[in-house]
Amino acid sequence: MIQVPEEIVSQLAHAFGTTRKELAYLGGGKEFSDGIVYSFTKDGKAYALKILGMEGEKREIGLKEASERLEFVHFCGEQGVPIVHPIRNPEGHIFEQASHGDKAFIAYVMDKVDGQSIDHMDYHNGLSKNLGRTVGQMHKAAKLYAKWKGQGADGDSEVLGWRQEVDFFIGWCADEDVKDAWRQMGKTLETYPRSRETYGFIHNDMHVGNMVFNSDAIYLLDFDVANYHWFSNDFICSSQHFLWSQCGGFDRPLEKTDDLKRFFDAFLEGYQYETHLDPLCLKDLDMFLNYRRMIIFTAMQDYMNGNPKVKMANKKMILECPAVFDKII
C-alpha 290/C-alpha 181 separation (Å) is 9
Which fold, 6-111? Phosphorylase Kinase; domain 1 (3.30.200)
pLDDT of residue 155: 53
* pLDDT higher than threshold 60 for residue 6: yes
C-alpha 73/C-alpha 258 separation (Å) is 35
Say how many C-beta atoms besides its own lie within 10 A of residue 134's C-beta.
24
Say how many C-beta atoms besides its own lie within 10 A of residue 24's C-beta.
9
Contacts (Cβ under 8 Å, ≥6 apart) of 318: 178, 181, 290, 293, 294, 297
pLDDT above 90 as % of the chain:
70
pLDDT in tens, 59-118: 788 888 888 898 899 999 999 999 988 888 888 889 999 999 888 999 999 988 888 877
Location of each CATH 3.30.200.20 domain in the chain: 6-111
Contacts (Cβ under 8 Å, ≥6 apart) of 74: 85, 86, 87, 88, 94
Superfamily of domain covering 123-327: Aminoglycoside phosphotransferase (APH), C-terminal lobe (3.90.1200.10)
pLDDT of residue 158: 65
Report, in angstroms and rounded to the nearest whole number, the Rg of the chain calculated over CA atoms.
20
Strand pairing class (217-220; 103-111): unpaired
Q: Cα-flanking dihedrals φ and ψ of residue 212, to 5°?
A: -135, 150
Closest CA to 82 of 128, 131, 37, 125: 131
Lowest-confidence region among 119-133, 149-163, 184-198:
149-163
Binning pLDDT at 50, 70 and 90, where does residue 153 land?
very low
CB 321 within 8 A of CB 286: yes
pLDDT in tens, 235-270: 999 999 999 999 999 999 999 999 999 999 999 999
Q: Indicate the pTM of the whole model.
A: 0.89
pLDDT in tens, 43-58: 999 999 999 988 877 7
Q: Cα-flanking dihedrals φ and ψ of residue 99, to 5°?
A: -120, 150
* pLDDT higher than threshold 90 for residue 175: yes
